[in-house]
Amino acid sequence: MEKIVINGGKKLHGSIRISGSKNATVAILPALILCEGVCRIENIPNIVDVNLMATVMYNMGADIKRINKSTIEINTANIRNPVAVDKLVGEMRASSYFMGALLGRFSHAEVSFPGGCDFGVRPLDLHLKGFSMLGAKYSISDGIIKLDAEKIVGERIYLDVASVGATVNIMLAAVKGEGTTTIENAAKEPHVVDLANFLNSVGADVRGAGTDVIKINGVKHLGGSTYTIIPDQIEAGTYMAAAVATEGDVTLTGVIPKHLESITAKLREIGAIIDEYDDSIRIRCSGRPHCCDVTTTPHPGFPTDMQPQIATILSFADGASRINEAVWDNRFCYVTELQKMGANINVDGGSALIKGVDRLAGAPVKAVDLRAGAAMIVAGLAASGTTYIQNIHYIERGYEDVVEKLTALGADIKRIYDNDPSIQTA
């Protein structure tokens, strides 16, 4: 098994490029199933979740050509069966998007129940409500969701919660349907907008993405295009957090500063100096972080996917902070790991009270999910002594070249095997 080992206390400095967005890529890859032409997708991050999704599509019959590390060409003409029943499908949440994409192309879909990070209940009721309103019937048995429609017909669909997944799935199912579909209380995340932009680039008619109301006028055909994925908001936010945690001076290139506004605002409250440019951002910090309260909400609010990383900084801030997690039921599993490093955090339901300690101390910890793993890295970089992080496969699901990028910024970080004789693991 591999681990990450960090000797903490090095101030990060320098410049790195942010990779393409995981959550946009995992929505756009299934959307390719709806396209009749060849698509070239650029700025794809080389991470486990994306590679899993591409493998499932390859197993379904898609022709996938890797042009270079971040560019692939895909032709899905040879997918003949609307079936994504594969053990790999059960390993990630975004594989639920095969339901919308296959339904949109074949009016039928069979998809293994999706998996993904465990934040408590992760329902699919809004996805299924959306499909039903578009004319599909569904059944679930043996861990497989089956959907069938005579045809997809546009409807007005109100989402009780502004769910990213339901918004994406309804867009995919409706884009080649008859008439107009309106999604009310739609998710506004940058990756939802990126999917809409991609669909429009291949001939769709999707309007209003990025607002509460998305209108999809069904079209008969979608062609091909060359499309560049947006930068990853959460990868950028994680390196911003790492810069603040280590009192560093870091420039991130290839970002869209507008997507980072809520993160920038909170890190400024904590004491960071942040300069925004057209497509880069510089973040500096010196001295102990200031305490502050944080509530996670859907975009444009503070993202839940940055909650563990900011909680980590607040765990050594100059006072008490409160975090309210308003998106997921159970996203504090990483707290036990931070406690092993000396953090003083009390969780009560969806809220955590963090009393800042002087400094975290390195310890053996584990990544309990993707962003929790990112938080362990931020903690290890800031802590005194050595931190060993287990379960790094979670981190590799969403962060391209994380060890290499942090090394380029001056961190003392390595990937090691359990039996590496040069390292004494705790």
Question: Which residues participate in catalysis according to the annotation?
Answer: 117
Question: Shortest approach of ligand EPU to residue 320 CB, angstroms?
Answer: 26
Nearest C-alpha neighbor of 365 from the set 337, 328, 345: 337
Q: Is 304 in the site for ligand EPU (CB under 6 A)?
A: yes
Residue with Cβ nearer ligand EPU (94 or 317)? 94
Selected binder of ligand EPU within 165, 177, 308, 342 (CB under 6 A): 165
Stretch binding ligand EPU (CB under 6 A), from 66-74, 164-172, 257-265, 312-320: 164-172
Q: Is 334 in the site for ligand EPU (CB under 6 A)?
A: no
Nearest C-alpha neighbor of 119 from the set 311, 397, 307: 307
- Calculate the CA 87 to chain-centre distance: 21
Q: Is 163 in the site for ligand EPU (CB under 6 A)?
A: yes
Q: Specify the residue for token string 């960090």.
A: 6
Selected binder of ligand EPU within 5, 16, 18, 26 (CB under 6 A): 26
* CA dihedral for 314, 282, 257, 27, sign (positive or negative): negative
Residue with Cβ nearer ligand EPU (122 or 414)? 122
Beta strands in 71-185 (DSSP E): 71-75, 83-84, 108-112, 136-141, 144-149, 156-158, 180-184
Residue nearest to ligand EPU (CB): 165
> Cβ distance 389 to 367 under 8 Å?
yes
Of residues 314-333, those binding ligand EPU (CB under 6 A): 327-328
Stretch binding ligand EPU (CB under 6 A), from 33-41, 122-130, 133-141, 246-254: 122-130
Q: Is 305 in the site for ligand EPU (CB under 6 A)?
A: yes
Long-range contacts of 192-197 (CB under 8 A, 24+ apart): 192/27, 192/164, 192/167, 192/168, 194/21, 194/24, 194/27, 194/28, 194/229, 194/230, 195/24, 195/27, 195/28, 195/31, 195/168, 195/171, 196/171, 197/227
Give the strand pairing for 344-348 and 351-355: antiparallel
Binding string to ligand EPU for residues 83 to 112, with x set by CB under 6 A, is what?
----------xx------------------
C-alpha–C-alpha distance, residues 144 and 329, integer Å: 25
Q: Is 309 in the site for ligand EPU (CB under 6 A)?
A: no
Question: Shortest approach of ligand EPU to residue 236 CB, angstroms?
Answer: 13
Stretch binding ligand EPU (CB under 6 A), from 118-126, 247-255, 268-276, 378-386: 118-126
Selected binder of ligand EPU within 35, 360, 370, 377 (CB under 6 A): 370
The site for ligand EPU, by CB under 6 A, has a size of: 26
C-alpha–C-alpha distance, residues 183 and 216, integer Å: 8
Beta strands in 185-272 (DSSP E): 205-207, 213-217, 226-228, 249-253
Q: Is 117 in the site for ligand EPU (CB under 6 A)?
A: yes
Residue with Cβ nearer ligand EPU (177 or 350)? 350
The first and second tokens of residue 32, run together, are 């390719």
Q: Is 52 in the site for ligand EPU (CB under 6 A)?
A: no
Q: Name the 3-class secondary structure at 382.
A: helix
The first and second tokens of residue 138, run together, are 């569904």
Residues that bind ligand EPU (CB under 6 A): 23, 26, 93-94, 117, 121-127, 161, 163-166, 187, 191, 304-305, 327-328, 370-371, 398
